[in-house]
Structures are given as C-alpha cells and as structure tokens.
Structure 1
Amino acid sequence: MKLSTLTAAAVMVAGVAHAEMVAPTKVAFTEDGAVEASLTGKAGDAAKGAEVYGSKKLGNCVACHEITTQDVAFPGNVGPQLDGVADRWNEAELRGILVNSKMTFEGTVMPAYYKVDGFTRPGKAYTGKAADDTFGPLLSAEQIEDVIAFLMTLKEE
C-alpha cells in the first residue's frame, strides 16, 4: 500500500513539473506580441543566460546585438544595443521578442527562437533538398527564460 501511494505521488509530481513547460505550439501571445507566462514555470538563471547570449553556437545574439559590458569579439550592430534593455522592455515583452520577434516587429530579421512551425521552405520547391519541417526550436524553454533573466539585469546606470 505504501509503495502504490509513493508511486502515485511521484507520478503526480512529475506530471505537475511537465505540465508547467509550455510547448512552442502552445505559447500564448498578447495583442502586442508579449508572452506573459513563463515557458518553464520557474525563474531563469541570469549567468546561464549570459552564456547563451555570448555563444555563437547557441543563441548567437552577439551576431546582431552589442552589450558594452560583455567582452565579445566583433559584436553585431544590426539589432539594437542591449545596454539598458530592462528599462525599455518588461519580462513579458522580452519573452515575446525571443519566442517570436515577428509578433512584435513585423518584418524583422531576428529569428524566432521558440517556434517550430509555419516556416517557408523554398528549397523543397526548387531543389527538393530542404530539411523536413520536423525540427525543434533554436533555444529550449529553459534557455529562453535564462536569457530573459540575463536581459533583466541590464538596466541603465
């Protein structure tokens, strides 16, 4: 009897933890493109977010954005400078921009980091060699929340 109670409790806890994760296709945007609900149900880690920001293998944010306090070789200047970004945008707005920036800025070249469908794949029509449409998001929900936590530390001095 005790074993079945413990098993049931473990299943319930695992179900709650899993239920808090928002799938890329289930993200709810506001009219202005913000995403109010955390994708993971927990706060992100700012130190890990700084790593994602600075990594050309992960977010590659540095290809387009500069933060003057970050020691990054050849930061980009295509996107806006991110110094003081937490004074210009709140968490929900930043989350929306990272998840799918086109919901906030129509026509932007910034990638949708947490989107998995609705892409135009012209290579299929022309070469037949384009990747199929079953691929994951560029960043995980946890990485998105980590980057948001990092960006929220960037306030004007």
Structure 2
Amino acid sequence: MAKLLPVTACLAALASPAVAQSLASYTVSGDGIEQPLTDMPGDAARGRALVAERSSTCILCHSAPLPEVRFQGDLAPNLAGAGSRWSVPQLRLRLVDAARLNPATIMPSYYRTDGLERVGRTWQGKPILTAEQIEDIVAYLATLRD
C-alpha cells in the first residue's frame, strides 16, 4: 500500500488530465511499441519542457540532466542516458503503459485508460498525456545518451 503513495502524490500534482480523446491505437511488440502514436514526429525541445514541468510528473520521481530544475525526484531511475539504455519503441511503451512491463511499478500508465484501479473522477476515461506529448517526451529521452 505504501508504494501507491508516490503515484498518488505525482498524479495530484498534475494541473489537469489530457482532454478526453480517442486514443491512438498501438501494438505492443516484445518490450516496445514500434510505431509512433502520431503522424508527426515528436519534438525533443517540447519533450524536454514537458519533462522539466511538474505537470507531466516525470521530474517528481525521476532526476534528469536539467540543471535549472530544483528538487528532482529520486524514486525512479535517473533519466540521464535513457536514450542509450532503451530504444525508442521501449521508451514509448514505458510511457504509454509501464505496468505492462512491470505490474508492480509505481509509474503511472500515461496513455492507458482501461483496467486501471484507484483513478480519480477527474481522470476517468482520460489519458494523463496526449499522444503528441508522449511522442515529444520519447523524442527528448532518445537524445539522452551516455
């Protein structure tokens, strides 16, 4: 039960969920999602801004090479070198639905709305991030190489 508290705290910090939308379909292949969720490539600069903002919740649990951001998290792996540790498809799945890889994870499923437990009324039926935001964050994380 104590493991759920950080997720609750992270979700409470978000300003608002993504607007209700039709979720892009995706196919999980092995430990990744090969195809982007959008027709447009992600923008690494927008992805960096999203990771740095507390509204995405990334920085609440992870630390990252963002020297301007104070009080970064230490509950989850440091994002420095993420692009060396994981491929783009692997990064995409970790954002879309990390629980698929590790059912005990405290990381939220940022682009899944079904089969979730303990979802606040404001969040029901809505992803935390849009498909575009997922792709932007993936583009940024892919640039983080050792």
Superposition TM-score tier, normalisation by shorter sequence:
0.7 to 0.9
Report deviation, 1:105.
2.1
What fraction of aligned residue pairs are identical, expressed as a percent? Answer: 35
**Alpha carbons 1:117, 1:133 under 8 Å: kept:** no
Q: Residues 148, 132 of structure 1: CA spacing in aligned structure 2 closer, same or farther, 3 A cutoff?
A: closer
Q: TM-score, normalised by structure 1?
A: 0.73
Q: Could you report, residue by residue, the CA deviation over 1:51-77 in whole angstroms, capped at 9, with x for unpaired residues?
A: 1101112x1100011113442110000
The one-letter code sitting in structure 1 at the alignment partner of 2:47 is G
CA distance in 1, matches of 2:108, 2:57: 10
Q: Which residue of 2 aligns with 1:142?
A: 132
Distance in 2, matches of 1:85 and 1:70, equals 17
The structure with the larger Rg is 1
Indicate the residue corresponding to 1:47 in structure 2: 45
* Structure 1: stretches of 5+ with no match in the other structure: 1-21, 123-129
- 2:77 paired residue number: 80
Query: With CA pairs under 8 Å and 6+ residues apart, which has the higher RCO, 1 or 2?
Result: 2
Give the letter aligned to residue 26 of structure 2. V
User: CA offset at residue 120 of structure 1?
Assistant: 1.9
Contact 1:82/1:154 (<8 A) preserved: yes
Correspondent of 1:152 among 125, 132, 142: 142
The answer for the alignment partner of 1:99 in structure 2 is 96
Please report how far the alpha carbon of residue 149 of structure 1 lies from its aligned counterpart in structure 2 after TM superposition: 0.6
Kindly state the Cα deviation for residue 29 of structure 1 after the two structures are TM-superposed: 0.9
TM-score scaled to structure 2, two decimals?
A: 0.78
Contact 1:86 1:155 (C-alpha < 8 Å) held by counterparts: yes
Once the 2 structures are TM-superposed, how far is the Cα of residue 132 of structure 1 from its aligned partner? 7.6
Q: Secondary structure at the match of 1:47?
A: helix
Asked whether the 8 Å contact 1:95–1:145 carries over to 2, the reply is: yes
Long gaps (5+) in structure 2? 1-21
CA RMSD of aligned residues (A): 2.0
Shift of 1:118: 0.9
The separation in 2 between residues aligned to 1:96 and 1:62, in whole angstroms, is 18
1:27 partnered with 2:26: yes
